[in-house]
Chain A
């Protein structure tokens, strides 16, 4: 009990020390105003990064490649070290992996009972990308812009290009399901939902961007981070990572199932020939 009290007192003392240091150390002069920072977070017109030393690209693209590398490395490690040790009575990690795969597989089968092989694999990868990509901003990896300023890598989907790419790709996957299930009729069914790529893209972009803007705003003014503790930001990021993963994968599975469902042609009732 005494040790706990001591630990709590130490923790409070450290917090007060850090607060005092933050308040009295003096702020470095900012190179850009808050308006410029927020505008750049949306448009990425200033802070760009040289891709492979050549073309200047948005930081979101670098984040996307980083997320892919992280995911593929993790998947490779799991494939090499974990999957061969799978048992019929699963352990904790095996249970987690099976639940992750089973979740998207069940989602695909439930929403698209007629055709779901590719859909399951797609929504699994898209879900992993959105979830890990959203949490990626918590890492705070630093890169240097073309102007020489350091910036923190944002979530990939807070870049409008990434959101459009994922939204349109999901729409193309839905279209492929329509073609595979119903041929030309499937194309018609899919094209009826012409607003889908835009809504999917901008739903993702808006959700991720709002998180980014709040984070930018909070950490632009250091003192604001004491009003909104970091843990709250982490929890919000986790929450909207889960929500956005669920929304995009569910919508994709739902529309895929709708357009790939074989159409049942109802026979028209014959007119009776007795009527003179």
Chain B
């Protein structure tokens, strides 16, 4: 059969064989290895991206945890400050109370000492008065002939004679 344009089925089959060899060869030698490498690189960068995302997420979690801890620490600090303030106030009150008690005790002791001193002074003055009286009485009795009572009065009035008598 004479086909127009000299189309030759045998040559078409030879072209097909040639194309089949070419397609298979290029697929195994070039297309597949290059594509595999491109996929490998894509997977590598995807894994890197996932790693970075997971690390970022982890960092966010750590940040949140530390933030919570920081918030807790602030609350704790506030409570500790409040507690210490209370302790200081209590301590100050105790010290004031103690100081007041000490002051009372000191005042009491001072009062007692003063009482003792007064009593001692009174006793001393009484003793001296007795002594003076005794001395005066002795002087009157032993050295003058005046009435002892007048002498006493004279002595008491600082040596002046009693004019009323």
Contacts and interface: CB of A to CB of B under 8 A. Distances in A.
Interface string A55-97: 1011001001101100110011011000100101000000001
Given A98-B34, A129-B22, A75 B12 contact: no
Contact of A78 (B7, B23, B29): B29
B21 A97 contact: no
Interface of A: 42-45, 51, 55, 57-58, 61, 64-65, 67-68, 71-72, 75-76, 78-79, 83, 86, 88, 97-98, 101-102, 105, 120-122, 124-126, 128-129, 156, 159-162, 164-166, 168-169
Contacts of A42: 5
A88 B45 CA distance: 9
Contact of B30 (A45, A64, A75, A105): A75
B144 interface: no
B5 A160 contact: yes
A169 B15 CA distance: 10
A102 B38 CA distance: 9
Contact of B7 (A79, A124, A160): A160
Contacts of B66: none
B15 A43 contact: no
A68 B21 contact: yes
A59 B10 CA distance: 14
A95 to B, nearest CB: 11
Given A68-B22, A72-B29, A97-B30, A165 B35 contact: no
B11 to A, nearest CB: 4
Given A64-B18, A105-B35, A165-B19, A55 B10 contact: yes
Contacts of B32: 121
Nearest to A79: B29
B98 to A, nearest CB: 80
A98 B38 contact: yes
Contacts of B10: 55
Interface residues of B, number: 30
A161 B12 contact: yes
Nearest to A117: B35
A79 B14 contact: no
Contact of A76 (B14, B16, B29, B45): B29
Given A72-B26, A76-B29, A101-B35, A161 B19 contact: no
A102 to B, nearest CB: 7
A120 B31 contact: yes
A266 B95 CA distance: 94
B72 interface: no
Given A61-B14, A165-B15, A121 B23 contact: yes
Given A101-B38, A124-B26, A129-B22, A169 B16 contact: yes
Contact of A68 (B7, B8, B18, B37): B18
B30 A79 contact: yes
